[in-house]
Structure 1
Amino acid sequence: MVTLWQRLAIVLLLLVCLVLGVVTAIQGVHSEAVVLVAGKRLPAVQSVPELSLETHKGDLLSHSIWAGRWSLVFFGFGSCPDYCPLELQKLAGLMRRAGDPEQLQILFVTVDPERDTRDKLAAYVGFFHPHILGVRGPNSELARLASFFGASYERSVIIDKRLLSVPAGIDMPENAGPAYQVNHSNQLFMVNPRGEFVAYFSPPYEPDLLWQDIQNLMAHAR
């Protein structure tokens, strides 16, 4: 014979199963709802580490930089002759679509801090949009940030008629001079308002599709 306490235990167990089922269903609907056209979501978000980097305005790249707004991160350098200017034009267009710089911000991280001084970086990003943030700092810290996002870069220079490769994180030789080459990957990295790396985009970038994905991520943020 089933006692009253056994009946209550069965009812409680059924209620727990029901609640878990509803939560799982909601999470499933949420995860399926965010389907990116141009980008890829990370299976698990990752918090951006705090590093000894700063913007061209002198602000440290701490969690306060990410808080409250969505961010797109792009690695490049101010002496880039072709790719970086073209992509920064597209990114500036995205900022104009967003309208409010507190909704979407662009961070241009230089991988060439020796030539990209704070003043040069400020002038460079400001040419494309007044609210794009240039980011610079020690090579070791820049390499850590690039590694976190999965970006890659290296520099090469001819010294004494020999080609020298300078990997990420290493300072350029003092006798390198101003004329050297920089190679870098070209992905865009999306960070949510909690400072978490959530998605990335690989070239070529179609602005309309990119904007569609950004709006989709914003709309379904938890």
Structure 2
Amino acid sequence: MKKTNPTLITLILGLLVLAGIWAYKKFTPAELHGTVVEAKPLIPELPLIDTAGKPHTLNQDAGIKLVFFGFTRCPDICPATMSILRRAYEGAGSPRNVKVYLISVDPETDTPAVLKRYVESFQKDFVGLTGNADNIARLANAFYVGFNENPDGLITHTDIVAVLDQQNRMRLIYNQEKLGKGLLDQDLPALAKGQL
């Protein structure tokens, strides 16, 4: 009767353990840091205008969508958030299946041309949307976003970034604290792979 080689058994067991670790990491969804939107509301198909002056809805684009409501005259939160979105997007390798949107809450000022210059100053792949004030308000409401023009002409607005899945359901929200901590940067590679 042949003796079993203990070194071979140890090697095989080691390989099995490594294969198990690899399979666990490969097939276990990443832990995402955004706030989960339990209701997963379906975002309505409301027509807006893109930076080329053409009708555009969020529903017409495939893939994962990061949506931020802001305006080009915003002195602080909007440029900071757009910079964070650029960093996260480029840090994830500018994934083709991820679209980043700025929807203007100031359509009177943010014409397609103004919005185009602003959005492209951060990232040429980003999409700027403006349009009918009623449609913007209805869409903002669907995202649980509020905004209001102050007597000084500036607009206060909810400053979250929402994540939509491929079916246009809102799945996650990143507030300014989470954005500032770089949690969207950490999550975007997994989101780009559809891990929602």
TM score, norm. by length of structure 1? 0.68
Per-residue deviation, 1:34? 5.6
Asked which structure has the greater CA Rg, the reply is 1
Of residues 160, 164, 175, the one that matches 1:187 is 160
The answer for unaligned runs of 5 or more in structure 2 is 1-27
Provide the residue aligned with 1:41 in structure 2: 36
Spell out the pairing of 1:15-34 with structure 2 (5 A cutoff): none
Structure 1 residue 97 corresponds to structure 2 residue 91: yes
SS in 2 for 1:189: strand
The answer for unaligned runs of 5 or more in structure 1 is 1-31, 158-178
Higher strand share: 1
Per-residue deviation, 1:40? 1.0
Of residues 186, 194, 199, the one that matches 2:172 is 199
Provide Cα deviations, 1:70-114, integer angstroms capped at 9, x if missing partner: 111001101111111111111111221232452221100110000
Of residues 107, 128, 131, the one that matches 2:122 is 128
Per-residue deviation, 1:36? 2.8
Per-residue deviation, 1:212? 2.2
Provide Cα deviations, 1:108-166, integer angstroms capped at 9, x if missing partner: 01100001111000001011110111111111111111110111100023xxxxxxxxx
Letter in 1 for 2:59: H
> Once the two structures are aligned, what percentage of the paired residues are identical?
28
Letter in 2 for 1:203: Q
Change (3 A) 1:62 1:188: closer
Letter in 1 for 2:134: S
Provide the residue aligned with 1:144 in structure 2: 138
Per-residue deviation, 1:220? 5.8
Which segment is superposed worse, 211-220 or 135-144?
A: 211-220
Letter in 2 for 1:212: Q
Spell out the pairing of 1:168-183 with structure 2 (5 A cutoff): 180-183=153-156
Equivalent residues of 1:53, 1:137 under 8 A apart: yes
Which segment is superposed worse, 115-124 or 92-101?
A: 92-101
Counterpart Cα distance in 1 of 2:173 and 2:85: 14
Spell out the pairing of 1:101-116 with structure 2 (5 A cutoff): 101-116=95-110
SS in 2 for 1:44: coil
Letter in 1 for 2:184: L
CA RMSD of aligned residues (A): 2.1
Change (3 A) 1:104 1:62: closer
Counterpart Cα distance in 1 of 2:93 and 2:85: 13
Provide Cα deviations, 1:166-206, integer angstroms capped at 9, x if missing partner: xxxxxxxxxxxxx6121111111001122221111111213
Provide the residue aligned with 1:22 in structure 2: none
Provide the residue aligned with 2:150 in structure 1: 156
Of residues 65, 74, 91, the one that matches 1:71 is 65
Count residues with an aligned counterpart. Answer: 167
Counterpart Cα distance in 2 of 1:181 and 1:146: 18
Letter in 2 for 1:210: L
Letter in 1 for 2:107: P
